[in-house]
Amino acid sequence: MSSSLSTNSPSTNSKQLSPTTVWIMAIATGLSVANLYYNQPLLADLQASFGITVKEVGIIPTLTQVGYALGMLFLVPLGDMFEKRKLIVITSLLVTIALLIAATAQSLLTMAIASLLIGLMTMTPQLILPFAAHLAEAKTRGKVIGIIMAGLLIGILLSRTLSGFVGSIFGWRAVFYFASALMMVLAAGLYFILPSSEVSFSGSYGKLLKSIWTIVKEEPTLRQSSLIGAMIFGIFSSIWATLIFVLSAPHFGYGAKEVGLFGLLGAAGAAAAPLMGRVSDKKGPRYGLGLGLVVIAFSVLILFFSGKSMLGLILGIFIMDFGLQAAHVSNQTRIFALREDARSRINTVYMFTYFMGGAMGSLLGSFAWNTGEWTGVSILCAILSALSLFTFWLGRKTA
């Protein structure tokens, strides 16, 4: 692997990464990740506009997520190969174009292509995270990651609300026009605000991608954190994939609107992110990870007995969100401390595995519901929780 270490010293980094810059990075992350979720509240409007079926309109959010996965795998590693500020600005401008294509789409095919490109080019969040970890001092890295993760979570939470509000008043096209204008302004602002970075990899793109596997083989902490991340996000996804079935059962009789309100419990995760970042800085990321996994296990226990209890569901999901972000932020703090010259590639490994774990969780959760309804889903989550704790215990000699 042909690469060279960055020469940025911790003291230089700390001067570059002021508190204002950290918060701007957090806001930029939230505004960018929102692009992935704007289309979800608009699907009924898109269906009517294009004259398509429910099955066909489902292609739109699916392709957005597929594009995001492909971007994580093939574009995020470029953060080690190119100057990070320019790469962030370029991807922000490219997603601006993709959003404009969506805003002007006259057919499902055009909208599908635009959705794929929106997911592919929404790489700013996954480029900013390793960039911020690189700029931060080791003693405050957890805090910085936590603040940026809070921005990301708030962006996800508010994106659907904003999209639904703007779309209901001005129409679905206005949402994408608004988002494209926002990304253009963001790109200009980030160009002048973000510090420049040094390139840490000097080989070809092919060698860059091959080096990812080398890093996986050489870093046991990365393998452990990625596996744990996949399992805990699998728990989260399996719960959310089946929650509608629980709430629509006769003893509740709720629908999609009430399920959407449960999303507000994600504020627990947004609150947990900066808090657990500070815990990771003070007591070490492994301590924060262990604490998060125990909290998740406790939430699974509550949810197991809450198939017919609204209070239990609310409490369980609230605690689960908190535990998930505690473990996630601690995991990221661990992996970004591994290699200064490969943080974008490390982020690729972790986030792609995390994302695939979520996809598998949704699939297994649906199967578990068909097999044993809420009890089946709860048993699946308990198994994943136990496996994550066992994996954590196996890695007790790592940092």
Identify whether residues 268 and 349 lie together within a single domain: yes
pLDDT digits (tens, 9 = 90+) for 326-346: 899 899 989 998 988 899 999
324 assigned to some structural domain:
yes
On whether both 19 and 104 belong to a single domain, the answer is yes
Q: What is the pLDDT of residues 59-72, one digit of tens each?
A: 898 899 889 989 99
Residue 248 · residue 373 · CB < 8 Å: no
The pLDDT of 353-372, averaged and rounded, is: 87
Looking at the structure, do residues 257 and 377 belong to the same domain, yes or no? yes
Read off the pTM.
0.84
Q: Does 282 map to a domain? A: yes
pLDDT digits (tens, 9 = 90+) for 155-213: 887 887 888 889 888 999 999 999 999 999 999 999 999 998 888 888 899 999 999 99
Whether residue 372 is contained in a domain is answered as yes
* pLDDT tens digits, one per residue of 235-284: 988 888 787 788 877 777 776 556 666 667 766 667 777 777 787 788 88
What are the two backbone dihedrals, phi and then psi, of residue 249, each rounded to the nearest 5 degrees?
-65, 155
Tokens in use for 248? 């629509």
Q: Which of 199, 229, 257 finishes a domain?
A: 199
Phi, psi values for residue 186, rounded to 5°: -65, -45
175, 199, 223: which is the final residue of a domain?
Answer: 199
Q: In this predicted structure, what is the pLDDT of residue 395?
A: 81
Q: Are residues 266 and 364 in the same domain?
A: yes
Q: Is 1 a domain residue?
A: no
Residues 102, 78 within the same domain: yes
Q: What is the DSSP letter of 196?
A: P
Cα dihedral sign, 256-257-260-261? negative
CA 292 distance to own-chain centroid: 17
Q: 168 Cβ partners below 8 Å, 6+ apart? A: none
> 192 and 243 in one domain?
no
- Structure tokens that stand for 261 in this block: 């309100």
Cβ density class 137-176: b for 16+ within 10 Å, e for less: eeebbbbbbbbbbbbbbbbbbebbebbbebbeeeebbebb
| Rounded CA separation 13/49 (Å) | 50
SS3 of residue 107 by DSSP: coil
**One domain, residues 145 and 221:** no
Bridge partners, 201 (sequence order): 3
How many CB atoms neighbour CB 11 within 10 A? 9
- pLDDT tens for 294-319 read 999 999 999 999 888 889 998 998 89
The angle at the Cα of 147, spanning 146 to 150, to the nearest 5 degrees, equals: 85
- Of all residues in the chain, what percent are helix, strand and coil, respectively (each to 5)? 85, 0, 15
Q: Is 204 domain-assigned?
A: no
Do 157 and 179 lie in one domain? The reply is yes
Please state, for a pLDDT cut of 90, what percent of the chain lies above it: 51
CB atoms within 10 A of CB 302: 20
DSSP calls for 282-336: HH-HHHHHHHHHHHHHHHHHHHHT-TT-HHHHHHHHHHHHHHHHHHHHHHHHHHH
Same domain membership, residue 355 and residue 227 = yes
Neighbour count for residue 253 (Cβ, 10 Å): 9
The total of structural domains in the chain comes to 2
CATH of the domain at 154: 1.20.1250.20
pLDDT of residue 238: 87
Q: What is the DSSP string of 133-161?
A: HHHS-GGGHHHHHHHHHHHHHHHHHHHHH
Query: In terms of residue numbers, what domain contains 246?
Result: 210-394
For residues 246 and 100, membership in a common domain is answered with no
Final residue in a domain of this structure, among 168, 199, 230: 199
